[in-house]
Structure formats: structure tokens, C-alpha cells
Amino acid sequence: MKDDVVIVGAGASGAAAAWKLASAGLRVTCLEQGGWVDPADTPSLRPDWEIARQTTHHPNPNVRQGPADYPVDDSEAAIKPFLYNAVGGSTILWGAHFPRFRPSDFRVRTLDGVADDWPISYEDLAPWYEENDRIMGVAGLSGDPGNPPRGPRQMPPVPPGVAATRMARAFDRLGWHWWPCDVAINTESYGEGRGACNNCGPCDLGCPQGARSATDVSYWPMALRAGVRLITGARVFEVETDAQGRATGVAYLDAAGQVQRHRAAVVALAANGLGTARLMLLSRSKRFPEGIANDTGLVGRRLMHHPTGMVTGTFADAVEGWRGPFAVSILCQEFYETDPTRDFVRGYQMQLIRSDGPVGTAVGGYLPRVPWGPGHHARFRQVFGHTASLTVTTEDLPRDDNRVTLSATLTDANGIPAPKMTYSLDDNTRRMIEHGIARATEAFTEAGAVDITPQRLVANAGFHLLGTACMGADPGASVVDARSRAHAVPNLVILDGSVFTTAAALNPTSTIQALALRAADLLIRDRKGIEVAA
């Protein structure tokens, strides 16, 4: 008996949709190439936790080279990939920022004359943002003048710490917006068996408290109870179709390397903006010689990241940045919206990042590597525990030449072509980053930093992989419709960040999950009318 829905990928979006669909009584199977990650096995419980960050738990799959990973050809990409393959997907190693898009993010063509409007609005998506917040659990505070009014979060905000408090006062003196970040981190016990954050720092290594929400501990327990069949170690390499181009199911390699086929009325892809595009391009047929649903040639194109500049301030006194969730405290959206007096369109936000442990400080990241040789220890003492950083997280406008293709030279362990990212920054983005660096420098100066160091592009920041199967009303200019269904394949749904029409200038997971829940609800509503293969 074939399933109602087979979902490829058990990460942020796949987990949410699987739970929703199964809860409505649909037969759902989810195929995930990784396995379960036991939060009790986190390197944060070991003395060598910072070595794990540089090796086995590095966010770049090309460095990590885990058994579930596939390589990424980034030879022509200015920004390197960060992702994770496991139940929970990249939420396994994320920092848990959980902002919502602003209403204007859905209307960039109307408001600013660039890129494209989404075929849906913030108001359309708002009910699913709310539902997702309840399940993931959000710490934050109502009243932010930077965003539309909304109800209370599930928990109070994460405390800012020494550096963020100092920066908040500097923003106040400058007359700039700031607000505590919305984060999917428990500041109180919330959810099933999930405790409160104990302020340890390296959320990216996993959270034995279950405080940092990831879908393996939020959605998956509910999804499994609802009846979802989850198959791990399943590397999907093709979406199969019938002669009319309707999806019939998927083919995958199981954990033993044997080819298996799984039939379903509806195929849903949730493998992120890189993996989904790769799979679609791999899925060639007589009807779709350039990849499934790729009549327009847009599959893989319009790859968007959030190009990130960074400014690090060093203070004379210690600010103990090793305390607290590394990525989250406060943000500033003073320069988020388009301002015609600036030399760029759209905008950016600045997020305050805490500092690093001793290895992270020495090898560099927020600051350049501490030089080796005679001056090493003196320099280390100057910076260790004395810094904070502001990211300049910019909106990346879609371009056809920023894209995912299949690598001609690189394959995964099963001989399947790896995805290749071809990516460069445009002048608008560069100008935006320069503006942000100047403003962040101003803020650190106001806060009393004794040394301020800019990075014009953080290369290791490819954690938001967006836009490669874009959503739009026009079948000739987009891959999926407003319901996240492929224009050219009525029973193919795309759930992940691939569908983003534009990227906004903030972390996308909350929006990805809201879109997945919405797509699932619309599928439940419409399922009897969807054209499926015999």
C-alpha cells in the first residue's frame, strides 16, 4: 500500500509537515539520510568540546566529513555551506534565532522595485507562525517597535549578559532600535521533557537540557506518536515520475547501500535549499530532461544566503562572552528598511554575538587568528573574554547566476553527483555591508571598545540556503505556487527554504517552518482534488 505522502528530509520543515499531515490521519513516511543524534552525546559534556567544533562537529560538511554527509562543491562560492544531516537537520547545530519576516519582506517589488513579491503576505502566514512558535517554544518579548504587534512569547527573553547590556546602552545613546532576540531556547522548562537553558554557551554542539529547540526534540516525538514512519540512513537520489510527469515516489539507497523505492501519492521535499535543488536536478526523465519541475530552468537558480559582515569590539575589561547562548542576545534593526538616502536598496540587521572559548579565540573567527610566535600569549590575553561582535546580516537579492548545479567533478560516497554552489556578492550587497560595518563600528566606539576589527565578508556563513525552487504566482517565472506545490508537477510539494521568493535580512527557520505547516494544511484541505499518479 502506498503512502499518502513521502517526505524527504527530517529537519526543520520536514518534521513540522510530517507531524501536521500525520495528525490529520494521512499515511506519512519520512526518509532521512542521517540518523538520530542523542543530545546526551553532545561534545559539550567533554573536555575536548572545542576540538569537536573544529572537526567532527564542524558545521561545514566538507570539513566534518561525517558518514551521513554529502560533499559540496564550493570551489566557485564566496560563502561556504553550513548544514547538518540528521533527524532534526541543521537545527541540530543551529543558534536558534527565531525572528519572523517583516511584512515588507514579502513585498520588495511593490515597495522597492527590486526582485519579486511573494504570492503570499505576512498576514497570510501569521497563523502558522503562531502555531510553530507554540511547538518550538520561543523566548522573547512583545512590544518590539521593529515588528508588527503580536501576542506574548512562550517564555521571557534570554538575559543579555555584560557585553549586550553595554551595547544596548550604546544603541540607546545613538537613538537606534534594539530589542532582545526572539529565540527558540527555553528560558524556562517548556515542551515535552525539555528543561531550561543553563547558559552554557555552545548551542551549536547540541543541548543535553533540551533547552535549545531542535526538531528532534520538539516536533519529532509528536510526529512519531501521530504515526509517521521515519526511515533513517535513507539517501534519496531520485523523485520518480510517470509518463505525464506526475510524481510516483522516490528511489533511495538504504543504510546497507541497497536501492529501495517508496511510492506515495504526494512527494514532499524538505532537504534544504541545497539538497532539494540537487535532488530535483538529479530527477531527470523524458518529461523533465533538465530535472523535475524544471521547465523554466529556475531549479537551482536564485540561490540566496545572508551575506554577513562582522565587526568585533575588544573591551579593556572582561565581558565574559563565554557565558550564554553564543549567537543570541540582542539585535538592532535600525537599518532594516530601504532608505532612499543610502546607496543601496533593502537593508540589514545587526545581531550581537558573544565571544568564544579559548580554542575559538585562538584559531579565530570573530577576530583573525591570534598570531603564532613571540607575541602570541600577550595577544591572547588581550582578546580572550574581552570581545563581542556585531553581525551585519544583509538581504541578498536573488540573481539567476547564483545557483546550485550538479558538480561535474565531485560525488558523494555512493557516487551520486554532489551539489555545486556558484555564488558571488553583488554591488548592492557590498555597499550594504560597508554601511553596516561603519554603523557597527560607531556602536562599538560609543560603547567604549578599545579596538574594533571589521570583517567584510564572513565566508563561513552559508547556513541559510534559500530560493532555489522559488515561489511565485507566474508558472513561467517560478517553480512552486503559493501553496508550495510545483507548477509543473501537481503532486510535488517543496517544504524547505528553497521556496523563498526573497530572503529578507534575518534568520529564516521560523518562516521556513511556518511555510511548511501552511503547505501541509493546504495539502490536507485539497488532497482529494490533487492529481496524482495511478
Partner 1 sequence: MSAALLLDTLLPGDEAFPPGHVVAEALAAHDRFGPALERILALLPEDFASQPPEARVTTLAAIEATHSEAFSALVLAAYSLYYTHPKVAAVLEASTGYRAGPPQPGGHALAPFDPALLAIPAVRAPLYRPTPEAET
Q: Please report, as residue ranges, which positions from 142 to 161 form the binding site for partner 1 (by CB under 8 A).
A: 143, 145-148, 156-160
CA distance 402 to 70: 20
Q: Is residue 372 near partner 1 by the rule CB under 8 A? A: yes
CB 139 to partner 1: min, Å: 9
Shortest distance (Å) from residue 349 CB to partner 1:
12
Q: Minimal distance in Å, beta carbon 447 to partner 1?
A: 14
| Contact assessment for residue 490 and residue 530, using Cβ atoms and an 8 Å cutoff | yes
Which residues, at least 6 apart from 486, have a Cβ–Cβ distance to it below 8 Å?
A: 292, 293, 469, 479, 480, 492, 493, 494
Q: Does 333 help bind partner 1 (rule: CB under 8 A)?
A: yes
Q: CA 268 to CA 515: how far, in whole Å?
A: 13
SS3 (DSSP) at 111: helix
Q: What is the dihedral of CA 508, 511, 513, 517, to 10 degrees?
A: -160
Contact between 171 and partner 1 by CB under 8 A: the answer reads yes
Interface mask toward partner 1 for 383-402; x: CB under 8 A:
-xx-----------------
Check residue 109 for interaction with partner 1 (CB under 8 A): no
Rounded Cα distance between 373 and 32, Å, is 46
Q: Pick the closer one to partner 1 by CB: 24 or 196.
A: 196
Contact set for partner 1, span 453-472 (CB under 8 A):
none
CB 163 within 8 A of CB 324: no
Q: Is 199 in the site for partner 1 (CB under 8 A)?
A: yes
Instruction: Report the residue from 78, 196, 231, 473 that binds partner 1 according to the rule CB under 8 A.
Output: 196
Nearest to partner 1 of 122, 129 (CB atom) = 122
| Distances 154 to 72, 96, 184 between C-alpha atoms, Å | 37, 15, 10
Q: Minimum Å distance from CB 370 to partner 1?
A: 8
β-sheet bridge partners, residue 184: none
One residue of 38, 41, 110, 244 binding partner 1 per CB under 8 A: 110
Contact call for residue 51 and partner 1 (CB under 8 A): yes
Nearer to partner 1, 49 or 94 (CB): 49
With cell 566534518, the residue in question is 64
Q: How far apart are CA 361 and CA 354, in angstroms?
A: 11
Stretch binding partner 1 (CB under 8 A), from 244-252, 294-302, 363-371, 526-534: 363-371
User: Is residue 244 a contact residue for partner 1 (CB under 8 A)?
Assistant: no
Is 358 an interacting residue with respect to partner 1 (CB under 8 A)?
Answer: yes
Cell readout for 34 is 542521517
On the CB side of 431, CA atoms within 13 Å amount to: 11
- Cβ proximity to partner 1: between 208 and 233 the closer is 208
Give DSSP secondary structure letters for 119-160.
SS-HHHHHHHHHHHHHHH--B--S--TTS------SBPPPP-
CB of 360 to partner 1, least distance (A): 9
Cβ nearer to partner 1, comparing 143 with 529: 143
Strands across the sheet with 73-77, in order?
Answer: 73-77, 417-423, 403-411
# residues contacting partner 1 (CB under 8 A): 77
| Residue 99 interacts with partner 1 (CB under 8 A): yes or no | no
- Burial (0-12, 13-18, 19+ Cβ within 10 Å), 396: buried
Q: CA 268, CA 207: separation in Å to the nearest integer? A: 29
Q: Which 120-139 positions form the footprint of partner 1 (CB under 8 A)? A: 121-123
Burial label for 474, CB within 10 Å (0-12, 13-18, 19+), is exposed
Q: How far is the CB of 258 from partner 1 (least distance, A)?
A: 30
Q: Smallest distance from the beta carbon of 345 to partner 1, in angstroms?
A: 13
Least Å from the CB of residue 251 to partner 1: 34
CB within 8 Å of 20: residues ≥ 6 apart: 516, 517, 520, 521, 524
Residue from 89, 291, 324, 490 touching partner 1 (CB under 8 A): that is: 324
Q: Closer to partner 1 by CB, 77 or 236: give it.
A: 77
Q: Which is nearer to partner 1, 47 or 289 (CB)?
A: 47
Our finding on whether 316 is near partner 1 (CB under 8 A) is: no
Please report which residue ranges of 236-367 form alpha helices under DSSP H: 272-282, 358-363
Give the torsion sign (CA, 512, 517, 523, 526). Answer: negative
d(CA 396, CA 457): 13
User: Would you tell me how many other CB atoms lie within 10 Å of the CB of residue 260?
Assistant: 14
The residue (of 38 and 242) whose beta carbon lies closer to partner 1 is 38
* Shortest distance, position 231 Cβ to partner 1, whole Å: 31
Using CB under 8 A, pick the residue from 2, 109, 287, 323 that binds partner 1: 323
Is 47 a binding residue for partner 1 by CB under 8 A? The answer is yes
Question: Closest separation between CB of residue 219 and partner 1, Å?
Answer: 23
The single residue among 35, 71, 208, 227 that binds partner 1, judged by CB under 8 A, is 208
Q: With CB under 8 A as the contact rule, which of the stretches 286-294, 320-328, 388-396, 466-474 interacts with partner 1? A: 320-328
Q: Does 165 bind partner 1 (CB under 8 A)?
A: yes
